[in-house]
Amino acid sequence: MELSGCQILIETLIEQGVTTIFGYPGGQVLNIYDELYKNRDRIHHVLTAHEQGASHAADGYSRASGEVGVCIATSGPGATNLITGLATAKADSIPMVAITGNVPMELIGSDSFQEVDTFGLSIPVTKHSFRVDRVDMLAQTVREAFRIAKSGRPGPVLVDIPKNIQIDKTAYTPRGISEKTPDAKPDTALLDQALGMIHESKRPVIYCGGGVINANCSEIITKLTEKLDAFMVCSMMGLTAMDNDHPKYLGMSGMHGRFAATKAISECDLVIAAGIRFADRATGNRTKFAAGAKIIHLDVDVAEHGKNIDANLQIPGDLHFALSYIASKLEPQKHPAWEETVQAYQKKPKDVCVPEGYLLPWQVIFAVNRKAPPDTNIATDVGQHQMWVAQHYHFKKARTLQTSGGLGTMGYGMGAAIGAAVATGKRTVLFTGDGSFGMNLNELATAVSQKLPLVIVVFNNGVLGMIRQWQNLFFENHFMSSNLQRKTDFVKLAEAFGATGLRAANGPQLEEALEQAFALDTPVLIDCLMPPEENVFPMVPPNGSLENIILE
């Protein structure tokens, strides 16, 4: 069967199980869009307001569903607009495939209209990238892109297709989905060694990162935590690794981690680190991180071993296999003294009292938490609100959080929430700040046109809160460029986009707004007015440790 390049592209995408694409048309992808038109009953194309939104949506779709998210953009500015989204997905190991059109091959290098070196630009922000220079390579390249995206440590892959390749014809033979390459089996001798260390431990902590979620290890990690009678601490990427209401779950440690979690890491005698890379924000000063503990590091990526931390035992390979092996061979343990010690830390920070007359961040998070069904997907942007959500929201299921951890991309949230809502077909909540929201609020248009049940909770404190917090703590209150002094009316803004806009300035108003928002199946924005002075605590200053922790 002879097909054109763009027909082959669509066929291979469908072959790979793709049902949804996020994208934006342009000159060098018009042929592909014509095929999308002809196949609109087979692939749902979501038109975003900006290619960056499409890239974050593909990322959010992937995080929510576990499937490879796909986005498409034209050459030149279309491709450059994808870069932030690709870098975000790379930093958090999210499987994604980005398709870009490019000028015909005979024009490449001539600085033609909307031409940029997409391939070159993509290199540092993708796991891998391809430029297809022969149509007979196209199908195999797309298949390979999907395999690479989901195998090993997942990541984004870009496929750049010049226009002449989209038009050229070649024989096409349908194939099945590209399977993920199985991860290498960890060395069982090392796992037995790990078991020895675990059996000797009196104060164990299981430390989870995003790898636990990527490898679908929630169930086994919960089982292991219980059998070992350990506490579970996580990085931000690992927040949904376990039911947050589990008695052994301590939550996030690190710069803005919960006190008990940070304390448990610094006082334990064993860290079983699973799918985690010991990033600077998570560890603080690495020489003081878990200083009294032995560390067993389980990660599929061999290069993570020894990169940030020299673990006592490094076990590369299949995380699920490693955890299952350990859990099955482990003698059930009881650590009552450790239990008692850590339980005491959990009560340490004083109870939050809720003042009347205005909203406090955690008050809003608690209210949404009460209102939203347990499987609700929560997206965030980046900044203070993100840390508060990480500290206070109780996630019940893996993959219910879409947040930019590694790259810390402000403006990520709108696209990601759209991606999650499209993937799940369910109501999704976006927590954002007035700063972050300002970056990609144009995607409100997408949420409206797609009629998505999206609740956008804007923490509107009139400042760039996290910048302000650092200026407050470390720069003698020199509030340079953190006081927004804008006159944006978010309620009117939402309405201008065709969404519903609501405002809440206190508890009762918030409850009422949430009541309304959760009754609608279309996008709703709740403008939550908050004081600008709130800081995120606890805070371990950069490169600090527990001894530098600021509690309030």
Partner 1 sequence: MGNDNTQQFAVSIIVSNQSGTLTRISSLFSQRNFNIDSFTCGETVDPEISRMTITATGDANKQDQLLKQISKLYDVKKVELMTTDNTILRELLIAKINATGESLQTVLEAANVFRSKVVDMSPDSVCIEITGESSKLNAFLTYVAPYGILEYCRTGLIAVERGKKCLYGVE
Q: Which is nearer to partner 1, 115 or 133 (CB)?
A: 133
Strand partners, 47: 23
- In sequence order, the 6+-apart residues with CB closer than 8 A to the CB of 450 are 46, 418, 421, 422
Q: Which is nearer to partner 1, 152 or 532 (CB)?
A: 152
Give the DSSP H or E segment for 281. helix 280-283
Per CB under 8 A, the segment of 36-44, 306-314, 473-481, 538-546 that binds partner 1 is 306-314
Nearest to 527 by CA among 402, 431, 442: 431
Which of 109, 196, 306, 542 forms a contact with partner 1 (CB under 8 A)?
A: 306
**Shortest distance, position 310 Cβ to partner 1, whole Å:** 6
Structural contact between residues 251 and 387, judged by C-beta atoms closer than 8 angstroms:
no
Per CB under 8 A, the segment of 295-303, 486-494, 500-508, 518-526 that binds partner 1 is 295-303
Which of 109, 124, 174, 247 forms a contact with partner 1 (CB under 8 A)?
A: 124
What are the backbone dihedrals phi and psi of residue 269, each rounded to the nearest 5 degrees, phi first?
-105, -5
Q: Which is nearer to partner 1, 291 or 303 (CB)?
A: 303
Give the pairing of strands 454-460 and 500-504: unpaired
- Determine if 148 is a binding residue for partner 1 (CB under 8 A): yes
- In sequence order, the 6+-apart residues with CB closer than 8 A to the CB of 353 are none
Q: Which is nearer to partner 1, 38 or 307 (CB)?
A: 307
Which of 56, 63, 131, 150 forms a contact with partner 1 (CB under 8 A)?
A: 131
Structural contact between residues 157 and 145, judged by C-beta atoms closer than 8 angstroms:
yes
Taking the mean position of all CA atoms in its chain, how far away is CA 159?
Answer: 22
- Determine if 310 is a binding residue for partner 1 (CB under 8 A): yes
Q: Which is nearer to partner 1, 292 or 306 (CB)?
A: 306
Active site residues per annotation: 51, 113-114, 163, 466
Instruction: Give the dihedral sign, CA 102/105/109/113.
Output: negative
Q: Which is nearer to partner 1, 211 or 501 (CB)?
A: 211
- Determine if 307 is a binding residue for partner 1 (CB under 8 A): yes
Nearest to 291 by CA among 260, 312, 320, 317: 312
Measure the CA–CA gap between 34 and 19, rounded to whole angstroms. Answer: 17
* Rounded to 5°, angle at Cα 34 from 33 and 36: 60
Please give the order of strands across the beta sheet that includes 401-402. Answer: 401-402, 377-380, 428-433, 454-460, 524-529, 500-504
- Determine if 182 is a binding residue for partner 1 (CB under 8 A): no
User: With CB under 8 A, what is the number of residues at the site for partner 1?
Assistant: 20
- Determine if 123 is a binding residue for partner 1 (CB under 8 A): yes
Give the pairing of strands 313-316 and 294-299: parallel
Q: Which is nearer to partner 1, 133 or 136 (CB)?
A: 133
Per CB under 8 A, the segment of 115-123, 162-170, 193-201, 443-451 that binds partner 1 is 115-123
Per CB under 8 A, the segment of 118-126, 176-184, 373-381, 417-425 that binds partner 1 is 118-126
- Determine if 297 is a binding residue for partner 1 (CB under 8 A): no
**Shortest distance, position 158 Cβ to partner 1, whole Å:** 11
- Determine if 278 is a binding residue for partner 1 (CB under 8 A): no
Considering only residues 13 to 72 of the shown chain, the ones binding partner 1 according to CB under 8 A are none
- Determine if 305 is a binding residue for partner 1 (CB under 8 A): yes
- In sequence order, the 6+-apart residues with CB closer than 8 A to the CB of 193 are 313
Measure the CA–CA gap between 181 and 204, rounded to whole angstroms. Answer: 33
- Determine if 120 is a binding residue for partner 1 (CB under 8 A): yes
Contacts to partner 1 by CB under 8 A = 119-120, 123-124, 127-129, 131, 133, 148, 286, 301-303, 305-310
